[in-house]
Amino acid sequence: MAFYTLGLTFNLVILLTVIVLAVWIYGIYFNFKKWGLGSTGYHDQLRNSFWLFLATWIHEAFKDGVWVFLRTVVLDIFLLRRTLARSPVRWIMHITMFYGFLTLATLSGLGLMIDIVEHFNLLGLAEPAEIAKEALSLPFDIFGYLLLIGATIAVSRRILLKSVRDNTSAYDAFLIGAVFLITITGFYAEWLRGNAFLVGNAFEYPLYAPHFALIHTVLALGLFALVLPWTKYIHVIATPMTLLANRGGE
Amino acid sequence: MADDKGSKPLMTGYMISTQMLEIDGCSRCQECMKWCPTFDVRQDRPGITPMYKNAKWRELIARSHSLRAKIFGPKPLNEDEMKTFTEDVYSCTTCGVCGTVCESGIKTVELWEAMRPNLVDRGNGPYGKQSFFPKLVKTDKNPYQAKQEDRLCWLPKDAKVLESGKIAYFAGCTAAYRQQALAVATVRVLNALGVDFCMLGKDEWCCASAMVRTGQRPVMEECAVHNVDALKDRGVETVLFACAGCQRNSTIDWPLWYEGYIPYESMPLSAFLRDKIRAGEVEFTRPINYKVTYHDPCHNGRHLMHLKGKDWAFEAPREVLQSIPGIKFQDMVRNRALQRCCGAGGGVKAGIPDLALDCAKARVRDGEEIGAEIIASTCPFCRRNIMDGRNDAKSTVKMLDVVELMAAAMGLDTTIPENPYTKYQEQDVIVCGPAVCEVGTIERKEPGKDLVGEAH
C-alpha cells in the first residue's frame, strides 16, 4: 500500500495529480499558441493559431523526409550529438539528466497507475500490483543516481567555472537548484525508509519517510508540472522540438 | 527615462512559428558566448550574445503574450530598454557561428534577420547609417551613388564579355565601383581559361544583401526579381560569384522573393576555378612566394555549407590557393565552420563601424599568429574590413582575393583601366614582373562618396 501523511488521502493525491496535469496541458497549449504568433512561412501573414503552429512544425520537421526526421530523433535527441561535438563534460551532464529525468517521470506515471490498480483492486490485481511496485524500486534508484550525477555536474559547473558562473541568471540557478533539490529529497525519502540501494539502513528513520516523500512529490509536481510550461523549463520540450524542426540544425 | 505610456508592443510579424519556438529552445548552455566575434571584442556587453538576445526577446514578447499579460493586461515596453536591445540586436554580424555551435540547433542567422524587421517596423531599427541603404539602392541600384551605366567602366578593352550565354559573372557593386582589381582579375582569368561568359552590365542591380541583413526588406523584392529576370533573359545556366554577399543572396534570399522557376545555379567562382585546375586547364607561370592563409567569408562559408556542401563552402578556395606554385599555405586556428567573422557583416560596418574595426583587428591578429603574409578571401567586404583593421593595427599583413592571386600566378595583366572610379580605389594588389610577384597597396586618391561603408 502507498502511504500518505499530513492528512492526505489517496483520493486527494489523485485529485491533485489531475489538477497538476490539467495545468500542465493548458500550459503546453498556451505555449503552442504563443509560438503560433509567428507565421507559417517567410512572407506569410500571421494567424495566431495553435493548429497552424503544429502544422508549420510538422511541415518543417518532415521537410527532408521521414528518414531525416528519424535520424534527428536518434542522433540529436537521443544521443545529443550537437552537445557531444562541443563539450564531452556537458554531454555527460545533459545525457544523465535527460535519461534520468525522462525515465523517472515515466516510472512515476507507471507507479501512479499501479497505485490506482492496487488501491481499487482492479481486476483483483492488488497483490501483483504491489509486487510490480517493488520491482520498480531498483530502476528508480539507478535512474535517480543518473539524474544525481547530471545535477551535481550542473551545479558544480555553475559554481566552479567563473565564465559560466558570471553568466548564470536567477532562472538558471532556479532550474538547476530545483532539479538538484528534487533529486536529493527523493533520495532522502528513499533512504529514510531503510533497506535502500547502496546505502542500506544507514539513514533509516521510517517515521519521517512519508513526510520527505511528500515534500519530494510536491516539489516534483509543483516545479516540473506546474512551473515547466511557464518558465525557461519549457526548453525541456522546446529544445527537442527545435532540433526536429531544424532537422538537427545540419 | 523615456515615457512608456502608449508604447507599441513588439511584433512577431516576420518570425516563422518555428522561430518563436526557437526562442524557447535555447538551453542557455553559453556555448555561443565562447564563439561570438563581437562579444569577443566587447566583453562588457553580454547582451549582444545570442543567449542574452534570446532571453531578452522572450521577456519583451512576454510583456504582451504571457499568462500574466492575458490575466492582468499587457505591460508597456520601456523605450530605454528597447534602445539597448536594438543596439544589441544590431551589434550582430549575422556570421552564424552561434548557429553552428548551438546545442539546440537554432538557426540563428535567420532568427536575427527575422527579429530586425520587427524592430524596424516598431521604429527602433535600423541602426546608424544602415538607414541609407534602401534609399541609395532604390535610387541608384547600388549603395555607392554610382551610375548604373558605369557598371562595366573597369572592363579592359581587350576583354571578351558576351551579351548573353550559359555562364554569367555577377560582379556585384563593390567590385564594380570600389575594388575593381577583383573584377579585372576575374575577367582576365575567365578569358584566359577560354570560358565564354556574359555580364549583366547596367542591368546588374545591387543584390540587396544589406537590406535583408538589416531588417529593411521591402527594396529586396525589386532587386531580387530584377536580377533573376535579367539572368533568365540571357539564358544563363550558371552564375559565378566572386562576392560572398551576392552569392549568399542569390542562393538563399532571391528565391524567397522570386515567384517562379529559377533555372540557373549560383556558384562560387572559387569552386568553378578549382574544377578547372583539377581538369588541368590552368597553367601557372609564376610562383607567388608568400605565406598565405585563407579567411572563410561567413556568407559563402557557414551560410552556404548546408545548402551547397562543405566542399564548395570551405575546400574549393583552399584547393585553389594550394595549387598556386610558391604559396606556403597555412590555416588560421579558427577556420572553416568555426572561423572568426571579420566583423563587417550584418550591417555592422555601416551601423557600428568601431565594432567592425575591432573584430577585423582580431582577425588580423589571427593571421599574424601563424605568421601569414597574405590573408586571402573571396569576399570584398571581408577584404575591405580586414584592410581597415590591418591599417588601424599597423600590421604588415596584406589582404587579397583568391582570384587575384590566381591571375598573378597565371601571369595575366590585371591593370585597371582609368575610369571615373579610379580615384576611389584603395586595395592591396599583387603586381608581377617577368619572374616574381610583389604585393603592394593602391592608395585612394580621393575619399569615396560612400554614405555607408563598403560592407554588408
Residue B15 Cα, gap to closest chain A Cα (Å): 5
Closest CA to B249 of B217, B278, B289, B280: B217
Cβ <8 Å between B17 and A234 = no
Q: What is the pLDDT of residues B9-54, one digit of tens each?
A: 788 889 999 999 999 999 999 999 999 999 999 999 999 999 999 9
CATH of A10-37+47-249 given 1.20.950, 1.20.58, 1.10.150, 1.10.3720:
1.20.950
Distance CA B28, CA B55 (A): 9
Band (B453; pLDDT cuts 50, 70, 90): low
Cβ <8 Å between A87 and B31 = yes
Chain B touched by A17 (CB under 8 Å): no
Region B213-225 average pLDDT: 93
Chain B touched by A235 (CB under 8 Å): yes
Chain B touched by A88 (CB under 8 Å): no
Domain positions in chain A? 10-37+47-249
Cβ <8 Å between A46 and B102 = no
Residue A200 Cα, gap to closest chain B Cα (Å): 37
List CB contacts (< 8 A) between A40 and chain B. 16-17
Region B88-110 average pLDDT: 97
Q: Looking at chain B, how many residues does it have? A: 456
Domains of chain B: 17-125 (1.10.1060.10), 130-442 (no CATH)
Cβ <8 Å between A38 and B31 = no
List CB contacts (< 8 A) between B33 and chain A. 163, 167
Chain B touched by A15 (CB under 8 Å): no
- pLDDT for res A237: 94
Q: CB within 8 A of B71, min separation 6: which ones? A: none
Cα separations in angstroms, A55 against A35, A68, B379: 12, 18, 39
Which element (helix H / strand E) includes B39?
A: helix B37-41
- For B29, which of A76, A90, A163 is closest by C-beta distance? A90
pTM for the model stands at: 0.92
List CB contacts (< 8 A) between A248 and chain B. 105
Q: What is the pLDDT of residues B385-395, one digit of tens each?
A: 999 999 999 99
Q: What is the pLDDT of residues A70-96, one digit of tens each?
A: 999 999 999 999 999 999 999 999 999
Cβ <8 Å between B17 and A52 = yes
Cα separations in angstroms, A95 against A175, A186, B32, B346, B410: 16, 20, 20, 35, 54
Q: Chain B residue closest to A228 (CA)? A: B24
The interface predicted TM-score (ipTM) is: 0.92
Distance CA A58, CA B4 (A): 39
- Alpha helix stretches (DSSP H) within chain A: 10-35, 50-61, 66-72, 81-86, 88-120, 126-160, 162-166, 170-193, 209-219, 235-245
List CB contacts (< 8 A) between A50 and chain B. none
What DSSP character marks residue B397? -
Average per-residue pLDDT in chain B? 94
- pLDDT for res B455: 46
Q: What is the pLDDT of residues B257-273, one digit of tens each?
A: 999 999 999 999 999 99
